[in-house]
Each structure stands twice: as C-alpha cells, then as structure tokens.
Amino acid sequence: MKFGTKVIHAGIEPDPSTGAVMTPIFQTSTYAQEAPGKHKGYEYARTQNPTRSALEANLAALENGNAAVCFSSGLAAMDAIIRLLNPGDEVLSTNDLYGGSYRQLVRVHQRYGIESRFVSMDDPEKLAQAISERTRMLWIETPTNPMLNIIDIEAVCRVAREKGILTCVDNTFASPYLQNPLDLGADLVTHSATKYLGGHSDVVHGAVIVRDEQLASQLRFLQNAVGAVPGPQDCFLILRGIKTLHLRVERACENAVRVAAFLQSHPKVKKVYYPGLPEHPGHAIAQKQMRHFGAMVSFDLQEDTFEQASKVLSATQLFTLAESLGGVESLIGHPATMTHASIPREERIKVGLTDSLIRLSLGVEDVEDLIDDDLRAALD
C-alpha cells in the first residue's frame, strides 16, 4: 500500500455499528462489562479508547512500525521514552534540538539521575567515541530545530547497535511522508503530532512508534500508569489531519524551495539554512534518507541583532508570528526568544542560533504572495 493510500485507509474501517466512514469520537470514560473481567476489549478510557486505537493503528502503518502509542503532547511522548531508562543512565542527544526537549532532559529527568550530554552527530566515528559506558539512548532530531542540520540516521543507528543502545528519532520536522527512521534502523520514532500530522493548528498531541513489541508493552504501561493520554476528540482531529498529510507537506515543501531561493538572493539576508540548497552540508544525506527537503527554513540577517529581527518579525502580514509549525498557514518565529528560550544563550550561540535567526514554517498558500507581498516587503 503506497503512502497516499495509507493515510486514508491504514488501520481505519467503517464503524461496524453504523457504517460511519469517519472514525467516531468515542466520548466515554468507561465501558459496560458483561461480567467481572468480561468486556469487549475496552475497560477504562485512560487505558483504551476506540478512537485512539484507530489512530495508533494508522500511525504504526505510516511509520512502517508494528505499534504506536499516543500521548497528550509531544513532550509527554518524550517523557515516556526517557522513563524507559533508569537512574544512572545517560542520554546522548544532538546539540541542536527543540528547546522543550532540552528543558525536559536537563531540568526534569536530570533531577532523577538520568544525565544528558549534547554533542554533534555529524561524524559517526566521533559519536562512537563520545558514547560512554553509561549511555543507554541516542536522541536524534533530523532535520534539527532550528538550524536544520541533517544527521545520517542509518549511520548513527549502526553505531548505536554496535554499542547495544537504543536510538530514538524525533521525526516531527520531516513527518512520516518525508522520512521513516524505523526503516533506517531506529528503535523508536516520536512525533509532536500537533505539527504536520494534525496540520491545522487546532490540537496538541504526541505519539511514539516502534517495531519491538517489548518496547510497545513498556510504553503502553507508562501511558496507562502515568496517564498523559489524549482525549478522543484530539485523536479524531489527528486522524482527520492525516488524511491530507501528503498533499499538505508536498505543497509546503514546494513553497519552501522557492522561499529559500528568494532569501538566498536578498541582500539583507546573511545565511539561509535549508537542506534543499546544494551547498547545505547535509544536502546529500537528506537526498538519501528523505523524499523531499522539508518545509522549514531558517535564516540569519546581515545585521545580527534582536532589534533587526524584531522589525522583520513584526512586519509580515501573511506569515503569522507564532509558536509551533506544520500547519496549513505559514508561521514566522524567533527561536532565541520563543521556541528555544529555555536553552542558555551560550549554548545556543555554540550551534549558530543567533539573536537574528528567524525560523519559517511554510504553509500551503500561494508562494508568490508569501514572497512578493510579505517577505520582500518585510525585509525591505
């Protein structure tokens, strides 16, 4: 089954009681039992919900996994993954990652004895040397947020397997339409489904997809025990969004290519970060492991000050100044004060996240309007 068919049909059947084509929202907290312990597969809605079950089956198919486990947010999904580890264990993470992920690793799990170190994963040999006897998991973002670095998933997973440690790939920026890390050797794939999977900026959601049934069982236990589960309407909205995932992402990627080329030619722009540009250091790897180069573009201004960035951020009309990404509308953001404000400035500067860096999430509008009526005017 090809991807465009999977998003519509995988794991989804018409409702047997009514024939409804769209998965119903099972808005219930509990389920009637015929006798003690005798039920129809559902006991309590924190543990199971039919709407959530349909979404989990669909997500597993999209990522070529055997099981998916859904959570109330992407960070709740991450929390469950890190809870697979024990005090004294270590996570080795890419040094350019979402500020919320950094905050959780450093300010939450570190308090309970799970340490984190942040390293460049550009060179698999250097990565192998960085792995210590305490390292139990590699945490990868690719493309990274917000510098759009590309990590060779297959090469990094090979290193992890040789060391006997787990690899988790945050696939939020790419979505399953562009990249499938399980096929490249990853043990776990996670998504902030709030972004491209939902695609309409109207729901907060997270998911983890795996092939190994033991990992799935551990994650389901944590899902039920900790209780950070999504409601049935949230699951319905993600299912609704997924049906157009391939169409939305394809259009947004086409827009990103045009916008990156425009920014590269503008005299007020110092540098453009987009893996679709041939001079991007990760261009060849992105070509190998992605179906397209994504719909996120970051750029630095010639004058590296917050004041200059603020002028641009405040001058756009079609690009909405807002947190998040992956919706049908184009968004513009300032990572240093928004998505990555929880990372100390000295750490941000090390990876190139300057005070003038601006991040764009391309939507599905007409690209001529985005460039000529909005970005050009804001920069000029």
Q: pLDDT tens across 269-302, in order?
A: 999 999 999 999 999 999 999 999 999 999 999 9
Is the CA virtual torsion 74, 81, 27, 21 positive or negative? positive
The pLDDT assigned to 150 comes to 98
Dist. CA 99–CA 325, nearest whole Å: 14
Residue 49 CA: distances (Å) to CA of 224, 237, 241, 336: 12, 15, 19, 39
**pLDDT of 355-364, one tens digit each?**
999 999 999 9
pLDDT at residue number 36 = 87
Residue that the structure tokens 């090809």 belong to: 2
The pLDDT score that the predictor gives to residue 210 is 98
Q: Judge whether 4 and 210 are in contact, CB under 8 Å.
A: no
Instruction: Show the tokens assigned to 19.
Output: 């024939």
- pLDDT tens-digit readout, 226-236: 999 999 999 99
Give whole-number Cα distances, 248 to 173, 177, 198, in Å.
14, 10, 11
DSSP conformation class of 344: -
Neighbouring C-beta atoms of residue 356, cutoff 10 Å: 21
Q: Does domain 245-379 have CATH number 3.30.930.10?
A: no
Six token digits for residue 306: 């917050």
By annotation, the residues acting in catalysis are 46, 98, 170, 195
Structure confidence at residue 106 as a pLDDT band (50, 70, 90): very high
Residue 38: strand pairing partners: 35
Interhelix angle 74-82/213-226, nearest 10 degrees: 110
Domains of the chain, by residue range, sit at 3-242, 245-379
Is the pLDDT confidence value at 17 over 90? no
Give the fold, CATH level 3, of 3-242. Answer: Aspartate Aminotransferase; domain 2 (3.40.640)
Q: How confident is the model at residue 41 (pLDDT cuts 50, 70, 90)?
A: confident
Q: What is the DSSP string of 147-172?
A: T-----HHHHHHHHHHHT-EEEEE-T
pLDDT in tens, 294-346: 999 999 999 989 999 999 999 999 999 999 999 999 999 999 999 898 889 88
Q: How many residues does the chain have?
A: 380
Tokens for 230?
A: 């999504």
Question: What confidence tens digit (pLDDT) does each residue in 49-83 have?
Answer: 999 999 999 999 999 999 999 999 999 999 999 99
Q: Is the pLDDT of residue 124 over 90?
A: yes
- What would the two tokens of residue 232 be? 């049935």
pLDDT higher than 90, residue 34: no
Q: Residue 211 carries which side chain, given as an amino acid letter?
A: R
Task: Say what the pLDDT of residue 330 is.
Answer: 98
